[in-house]
Amino acid sequence: MSSDFLLLGALNFRSNRIFISVNATWKIYSIRLCTSLLLSVVLFSCGKKEKTNTNNVFYLNLSSGNLESLDPAFSKELYPMWTTKMLYNTLVETDEHLHLQASIATRWEMDATGFIYTFHLRNDVFFQNNEVFTDGKGRRMTAMDVVYSFDRLMDPKVASPGGWIFNGRVREKNPFVAVNDSTLEIHLSQPFRPLPEMLSMPYCSIVPKEVAEKWGKDFRSHPCGTGPFQIKYWDEGNVLVLHKNANYWERDTAGRQLPYLDAVQVSFVDNKATEFLMFLQGKLDFVNGIDGSFKDLILSKKGELKANYRAKFQLQKGTYLNTEYLGFLTDTSNPVMHGQATNNRLVRQAINYAIDRKKIVTYFRNGLGIPAESGFIPAGMPGFDSSGSYGYHYNPKKSLELLAKAGFPGGKGLPPVKVLTPDNYVDIVNFVASQVQDVGIQLQVETMQPNILRQQMSRSQSVFFRAMWIADYPDAETYLAFFNSRFPAPPNYTRFHNIAFDKMYDESMLAPDSSRWKIYRSMDSLAMSYAPVVPLFYDEILHFVQNRVKGFGSNAMNLIDIKRVQVK
């Protein structure tokens, strides 16, 4: 079956991100007709009488259905990261351009050896009022609170999934030192230049020892931080209410105290379609992403709002530090690689050249995303190769040349290649299979539950797999660690091993930013020349925001900032 036929199927008969046969056309038509009618009813009923918000409250929904915890030590997923940023602060933070900004720390420096970082802290930051404090009033935060918070993150008894940030990276004894109330030292076991960027992660939020230890594991539902909002009420799975922290330390450029909002109300509807209907009805001020059933109705093929919705709400679109890719296991000593066609570097390169990434973004993503033709480091990340000088572009002729050079002219004699994918990505992988078939490569697509696939990837049992790599922090090291042979899986799922690459990695850890980014691009180029991955596209963020909302912000990590939000 040709790639053009599958593309036609994707255009005309695709629903819920999965390929279906032509004889299901009427079923799909019925589904889309119902969705269109329902959407029309909603827009007619709420378009002229939008819900007013007189209390300066921001309404959002978390479609996960619940939150695991309000303890920052467990802010592993996106939605807990959002609530953590509302309740807590970190030493530093990133702005909408991913530039590092002062927060609790006003400035910081690294010593000449690269082993010691010193952070200078504000002296006007107070924890939120809490019954554990004297008279219930929040006390001043000091460097000892930072020491406690970071030690706690590494504590095996706490079992934080964020312990990896410091484990093996800081010296074994007393890695965190409070020189005085406003000065903190972090002692590393080896130089690590991106440390400040890493400290912007929500995991590294500051908590008070007395409150965290009073509640123990129940600190998850009794949070206390220094952030712009504080907990008022949490009915798990139903509603979370946060009120403005009246003693919050941060002010805007005009000297006005933040946040502007009086409160935040969070619901937990776990259906994305229902969530978007609530947004259309004016019951939510903001929605992250869009359900597939609405995508073709709301968005054009270029990923823009269709004309009839532009006056109803805002679409904020931006880069997202997420590279979607196919990965090859490259460890030829692994028994599972015996007789595998992808042992051959030329075959891996041929697969890369056989794929039209622009069609994937246009027809399977409604224009959402950027074709990944510039390496593994995504667009928006410092170190990204905007010239596309070493990435893979669609070139089936080049693909055929590489196959012939590998000894498989037109794919003759090449054994079939099996790729494993979660079922929600099967449409794109099927299209990839059809494209590589056009140059003579037989790709067998097998779906697998995501958790089982991750296990196989971690155990180096998956020869070819579909995955994504989302940045943990705003430094390209988080993508290049993916290819460092000294690291396990994760992050090195491909088991890529190259001595020159590892040497450049070490050099980059002591280099200043401008030099480091050049080294990063050289590392990315080197890795791509061996084709351990097939980058498909760099993701983009879709935020739908009501017109009544002003001051909503976010960055390429998809971390939202509502400190400056006002609801009119």
Is 42 inside any structural domain?
Answer: no
* pLDDT tens sequence across 458-500: 999 999 999 999 999 999 999 999 999 999 999 999 999 999 9
* pLDDT tens sequence across 152-162: 999 999 999 99
Number of domains in the chain: 2
Distance CA 1, CA 367 (A): 25
Looking at the fold, whether 415 and 487 belong to one and the same domain comes out as yes
Is 210 inside any structural domain?
Answer: yes
CATH number at residue 336: 3.10.105.10
User: In this prediction, what percent of the chain has a pLDDT beyond 70?
Assistant: 90
Give the domain extent around 115.
60-268+548-567
Is 351 inside any structural domain?
Answer: yes
Beta bridge partners of 264: 58, 242
When pLDDT is averaged across residues 102-110 and rounded to a whole number, the result is 97
Looking at the fold, whether 557 and 535 belong to one and the same domain comes out as no
Looking at residue 426, its pLDDT comes to 95
* pLDDT tens sequence across 518-532: 999 999 999 999 999
pLDDT of 540 over the 50 cut = yes
pLDDT of 45 over the 50 cut = no
Looking at the fold, whether 338 and 260 belong to one and the same domain comes out as no
pLDDT of 20 over the 60 cut = no
Neighbours of 461 (CB within 10 A): 15
257 within 8 A of 272, measured Cβ to Cβ: no
Is 227 inside any structural domain?
Answer: yes
416 within 8 A of 442, measured Cβ to Cβ: yes
Looking at the fold, whether 533 and 560 belong to one and the same domain comes out as no
Is 8 inside any structural domain?
Answer: no
Beta bridge partners of 447: 421
Q: Where is average pLDDT lowest: 12-21, 67-76, 102-111?
A: 12-21
pLDDT band at 28 (very low <50, low <70, confident <90, very high): very low
Whether omega before 490 lies within 30 degrees of 0, making that bond cis, reads yes
Which residue bears the tokens 């992660």?
A: 201
Looking at the fold, whether 224 and 364 belong to one and the same domain comes out as no
CATH number at residue 222: 3.40.190.10
Looking at the fold, whether 522 and 451 belong to one and the same domain comes out as yes
Is 3 inside any structural domain?
Answer: no
When pLDDT is averaged across residues 29-33 and rounded to a whole number, the result is 42
Looking at residue 319, its pLDDT comes to 93
Q: Which of 73, 70, 94, 90 is nearest to 82 (CA)?
A: 70
pLDDT band at 55 (very low <50, low <70, confident <90, very high): confident
Looking at the fold, whether 65 and 190 belong to one and the same domain comes out as yes
Looking at the fold, whether 253 and 340 belong to one and the same domain comes out as no
Question: What's the mean pLDDT when you consider all of the chain?
Answer: 90
pTM exceeds 0.85, yes or no: yes
pLDDT of 316 over the 60 cut = yes
Is 465 inside any structural domain?
Answer: yes
Is 284 inside any structural domain?
Answer: no
* pLDDT tens sequence across 360-395: 999 999 889 999 999 999 999 988 998 888 999 999
Helix (H) or strand (E) holding 33: helix 25-46
Looking at the fold, whether 180 and 255 belong to one and the same domain comes out as yes
Distance CA 504, CA 516 (A): 10
Looking at the fold, whether 505 and 552 belong to one and the same domain comes out as no
Distance CA 350, CA 282 (A): 50
Return all residues near 79 (Cβ < 8 A) that are at least 6 apart: 62, 64, 67
When pLDDT is averaged across residues 412-423 and rounded to a whole number, the result is 96
Looking at the fold, whether 407 and 484 belong to one and the same domain comes out as yes
DSSP 271-299: -HHHHHHHHHTTS-SEEES--HHHHHHHB
Looking at the fold, whether 513 and 556 belong to one and the same domain comes out as no
